[in-house]
Amino acid sequence: MANDGILINGKIHDWTDVTIKIAALDFTGITSINWSAKKEKELQYAAGSAPHGIGYGHRSYTCDFSLTLEAAAEFEIIARAAGKDALDYAPFLITVAYADKTVADGLIDKEWGLKVVNIMDVDVTDVSESLDESTKKIVRKYTAVAGKIV
């Protein structure tokens, strides 16, 4: 019996299925990307000790991504070409696309779609590098705020 699909490394989403565009350029030197959306909420109290409602505040969006030093140099060349550095180069768009595979009986289905996440109006707030004894490559991490995530 032939298998239509195989679960590679036990993962539905494989890092090789992820493509990332920063400022409309494909980046292969990205080592991680995270994004989050948050909405402020606060319990509202009146008479008694139990809350009587919830007050809603603003939404906020953040992301961080790490690039190898070679990819970071490419990203910062783009910023310098616009007359800025990485902290001033804004706003820009990050597009993350990945294969959304489904698994049936431990095997990946042949049919799968592409999921796209757009992190809009990204503005870098912090740039850091790290190196420790077990590091095989030096990466530069960019932390940023975003206007919206869709």
Q: What does the pLDDT look like over 23-79, one tens digit per residue?
A: 778 877 888 899 999 999 999 999 989 999 999 999 999 999 998 888 899 889 988
- Quick check: helix, strand or coil at residue 72? helix
- Apex CA 110: angle with CA 108 and CA 113, to 5°? 90
Q: Which of 87-91, 94-98, 131-135 has the lowest mean pLDDT?
A: 131-135
Q: How many CB atoms lie within 10 A of CB 39?
A: 9
**Rounded-to-integer distance, Cα 78 and Cα 122, Å:** 15
Instruction: For residue 136, count other CB atoms closer than 10 A to its CB.
Output: 4
Q: How many independent structural domains does the chain possess?
A: 1
pLDDT band (50, 70, 90) for residue 13: low
Q: What is the pTM of this model?
A: 0.78
Q: Does some domain include residue 17?
A: yes
Please tell me the predicted confidence (pLDDT) of residue 2.
43
Please say whether the beta carbons of 21 and 119 come within 8 A: no
In a domain, 47, yes or no: no
Residue 55 neighbours by CB under 8 Å, 6+ apart: 41, 42, 43, 44
Query: Could you tell me the CATH number of the domain that includes residue 90?
Result: 2.30.110
User: Is 49 among the domain residues?
Assistant: no
CA–CA gap between residue 41 and residue 39 (Å, rounded): 6
Residue 86 inside a domain? The answer is: yes
Which residues form the domain of 18?
8-42+56-149
